[in-house]
Amino acid sequence: MQTREIETRTWNGWLVVTLLLIAGAALAVYWVKLPWLPHNQPDTWRIVLGALLSLLWLFLWFGFFMLQPNVAAVLLLFGKYTGTVKDSGFKWANPLLLKKKVSLRAHNLNGQTIKVNDNRGNPIEIAAVLVWRVSNTAQAVFDVEDFSSYVAIQSESALRHMASAYPYDTTHEGELSLRGSMDEVSVALQRELQERVSKAGVVVDEARLSHLAYAAEIAGVMLQRQQAEAIIAARSRIVDGAVGMVEMALEKLEAHGTVHLDEERKAAMVSNLLVVLCGDKAVHPVVNTGTLYT
């Protein structure tokens, strides 16, 4: 069951100081006048009353406290939650109230680098940085043991779960990956982390990956694999483009009637164009000054 936050207000501290000073002056007059009662015999009950009022006056001075901007005070009376004060300044409240201060400012959490397996089972090193703040002071104080430690532990758990849901890298069009889809992964991490820490009355303003790499034991092998996949992907695109260019060239030659080629010559032309377009080195053409036919 979540604890509901109750916003409350306290007395202005400067006003209470003024009232206590006036009360102190009245007590001083009371004690000065006390010996000058009829027959010079002070009344015992009046002495007891003066002592009690003096002790009460001193006790009330312990109710003052100060709140800086973006700092709240959770008030407890004999273990019972009575409310939260969020307005800053010099305040006074019942001295019997326990005033537990909670910062409402934004906090940075730079998570430690952890080792986890990605969606394909490859060991990777990953870390994240979070920006979070307390929005519900009652939940932060009463629903979890230590909300700062709670956020740190839940952030690591969410990061592990999120990292296992995506591959480190991919060559497939439209597939999300940790390295190639940083923005989407960050949004997913923030959403999952918010669900986990909402019990502590915490709002996650931002969550982003701060470190991402293959684990040291497979870094070299995976680098070669990445290079091979990149080469294959590049070659595949080159071949697709070259085939399209050859088809376009043949169609234009036939459409304009520039030259008429039989199937054998077309095959030779296609072979030569593909060599020129798909080769990874510069091609040195051989100029035929004779006829195409033997």
In one-letter notation, the amino acid at residue 50 is G
Tell me which residue has tokens 């209470």: 16
- Kindly state whether residue 27 falls inside one of the protein's structural domains: yes
The pLDDT of residue 54 is 94
**Helices and strands in the chain: count of H runs, count of E runs:** 7, 10
The pLDDT of residue 270 is 67
DSSP structural state of residue 279: -
Tell which of 185, 214, 243 closes a domain.
214
The pLDDT of residue 46 is 81
Comparing CA positions, the residue from 187, 185, 130 lying closest to residue 163 is: 185
Q: The whole model's pTM is what? A: 0.71
Considering the domain architecture, whether residues 96 and 154 belong to the same structural domain is answered as no
Considering the domain architecture, whether residues 207 and 111 belong to the same structural domain is answered as yes
- Kindly state whether residue 69 falls inside one of the protein's structural domains: yes
Considering the domain architecture, whether residues 77 and 135 belong to the same structural domain is answered as no
Considering the domain architecture, whether residues 70 and 111 belong to the same structural domain is answered as no
- Kindly state whether residue 273 falls inside one of the protein's structural domains: yes
Whether the pLDDT of residue 290 is over 60: the answer is no
Whether the pLDDT of residue 291 is over 60: the answer is no
Spacing of C-alpha 145 from chain mean position = 21
Distance (Å, whole) CA 164 – CA 122: 10
Q: 138 is in which domain, residue-wise?
A: 107-214
- Kindly state whether residue 177 falls inside one of the protein's structural domains: yes
The pLDDT of residue 288 is 57
Tell which of 83, 102, 121 closes a domain.
102
Whether the pLDDT of residue 146 is over 90: the answer is yes
- Kindly state whether residue 292 falls inside one of the protein's structural domains: no
- Kindly state whether residue 63 falls inside one of the protein's structural domains: yes
Summarize pLDDT for 99-144 with one digit per residue, the tens: 999 999 999 999 899 999 998 888 899 999 999 999 999 999 999 9
Considering the domain architecture, whether residues 52 and 34 belong to the same structural domain is answered as yes
State the CB neighbour count (10 A cutoff) for residue 225: 14
Tell me which residue has tokens 């604890």: 3
DSSP SS3 for 109: strand
Summarize pLDDT for 180-237 with one digit per residue, the tens: 888 999 999 999 999 999 999 999 999 999 999 888 776 666 677 667 767 777 777 7
Beta-ladder partners of 72? 102
- Number of structural domains the chain divides into: 3
Considering the domain architecture, whether residues 209 and 113 belong to the same structural domain is answered as yes
Phi-psi region for residue 209, left (φ > 0), alpha (ψ -120 to 50) or beta?
beta
Summarize pLDDT for 233-278 with one digit per residue, the tens: 777 777 777 677 777 777 776 676 666 666 666 676 667 666 665 6
Summarize pLDDT for 158-183 with one digit per residue, the tens: 999 999 999 988 767 778 899 888 89
CB 137 within 8 A of CB 84: yes
Considering the domain architecture, whether residues 128 and 60 belong to the same structural domain is answered as no
Summarize pLDDT for 21-63 with one digit per residue, the tens: 999 999 998 888 766 555 555 667 888 888 999 999 999 999 9
Considering the domain architecture, whether residues 149 and 77 belong to the same structural domain is answered as no
Summarize pLDDT for 57-110 with one digit per residue, the tens: 999 999 999 999 999 999 999 999 999 999 999 999 999 999 999 999 999 999
CATH code assigned at 204: 3.30.479.30
CB 199 within 8 A of CB 139: yes
